[in-house]
Amino acid sequence: MNVRERRKAQALEEIRELVYEYGAERTELLLKVHATTVQRWIDGTVAPSEAVLIALRAAAYGVMPGMAVQHWKGWRFGHDGMLYSPIDKRGLWPSHIAAIHYERQMLASFRQENRDLRERLEKALYDGNTAANDPVMVTLRSR
């Protein structure tokens, strides 16, 4: 079996699975094709194009091109256009993802402010002849 025949066989196997998962009627409506076209794909008389497979993967499983990488395992696009995390199942809009950059900057700023305040507090406590076993000093050193 040459490469072209192998790709066709893989496409026909995948289209059968996708049509079964998504439903023949929904596939017709989504792709704006006739029922006989879908039936030809299922029968194996005509192989679907890669664009058809991409569209059906997205519709049936929420998988977009390039998402087959392990890092995206479990992530999916919902019918509402949001990207869903496998961890907490909450959807994300692009604006949520873009905001992560600013949240990281804010967190770094808070961490630096926390370090500065700890240093000032520790210095103030040491200057005031505070005992080393003072509960505040013990807590400061443990972090």
pLDDT band of residue 131 (cuts 50, 70, 90) is low
Give me the domain span that covers residue 33: 1-61
Tell whether pTM > 0.75: no
Average pLDDT over residues 73-92: 84
What pLDDT shows up at residue 65?
Answer: 79
pLDDT surpasses 70 at 130 = no
Structure tokens at 124: 């103030």
What pLDDT shows up at residue 74?
Answer: 79
How many domains does the chain fold into? 2
| Type of residue found at 111 | R
Gap between the Cα atoms of 90 and 92, Å rounded = 7
pLDDT surpasses 70 at 142 = no
57 and 108, same domain (yes or no) = no
11 and 57, same domain (yes or no) = yes
Which of 15, 41, 61 corresponds to the end of one domain?
61
Q: Where is pLDDT greater, at 113 or 72?
A: 113
What pLDDT shows up at residue 121?
Answer: 81
Mean pLDDT of all residues in the chain?
Answer: 85
Contacts of 26 (CB under 8 A, 6+ apart): 59
What pLDDT shows up at residue 108?
Answer: 95
Gap between the Cα atoms of 140 and 122, Å rounded = 7
Average pLDDT over residues 84-89: 84
- 25-79: pLDDT as tens digits: 999 999 999 999 999 999 999 999 999 999 998 888 877 777 665 677 778 888 8
In a domain, 72, yes or no: no
Average pLDDT over residues 102-114: 94
